[in-house]
Amino acid sequence: MSIAVHALGRAGIPAGRQAVVLGAGPIGLATALAATAAGARVLATDPVPARRDLALKVGAENVAWGGDGELLDAVLDWTAGQGAPTVIDTTGDPEALAQATRLVCSVGTVVVVGMSAAAAPLRSGVFPEKEIDVLGSSCATAPDFRSAVALVQAHRETIAALFSHRFPLTRAREAIDCVANPAAGAVKVLITVGGPEL
């Protein structure tokens, strides 16, 4: 949650502003929840229908998926043809940066949270043409942690729904395998210490 809070601080999204969150994995869902809790309007994207459903449950007002043109159409429809003032990439997919530049409005902001070691394939001229601000976000400060704790306390039930799998410490290897296996449908895996075996 603290990573999401920090990314929103970097983005400077005021209440009522529209923001597209690329990716509805754990960080994307946390970002959607934190943004909507702060009063932002969120459209979340993800190829997995169950994750799009979770995005709606955490507060996104709209979700979308499809080819690049379909996503652009969805964002333009949602923003009355303007493009989103803020796009937050939580995917870790290097191609998402180019997509973000197409979805963001002129003089908009793209915040890159998802990490990748691969190069991002995009045309650099789009940045001065649209006057896009691109910000990186990867850490969290002590105030971010305090805000994240307050968010978790205020949204316990919603956040609990993000834990798709739970394993005791004695089954940690199985938990790691679950995360690594896309067929498991894991969103957030919790390893518990103590308590009954699950």
Chain-centroid distance of CA 174 in Å reads 26
Which CATH number fits the domain 2-142, given the four candidates 3.40.605.10, 3.40.50.720, 3.30.9.10, 1.10.3720.10? 3.40.50.720
Q: For the chain, give every domain's residue range.
A: 2-142, 162-198
- Main-chain dihedrals φ then ψ at residue 7, nearest 5 degrees: -60, -40
Q: Concatenate the DSSP letters of all residues of 29-49 into one string.
A: HHHHHHHHHTT-EEEEE-S-H
pLDDT digits (tens, 9 = 90+) for 133-166: 999 998 899 999 999 999 999 999 999 988 999 9
Q: pLDDT of 105-129, one tens digit each?
A: 999 999 999 988 888 888 999 999 9
Put simply, whether the predicted model's pTM sits higher than 0.85 gets the answer yes
pLDDT at 120: 83
Q: Which position has the token pair 């969103």?
A: 187
Q: β-strands 41-45, 18-22: how paired?
A: parallel
Q: Pairing between strand 163-168 and 133-136? A: unpaired
| Other Cβ atoms within 10 Å of 193 Cβ, number | 8
Short-list 109, 122, 60, CA closest to 83: 109
Both structure tokens of 117: 């070691």
Beta-bridged to residue 171, according to DSSP, are none
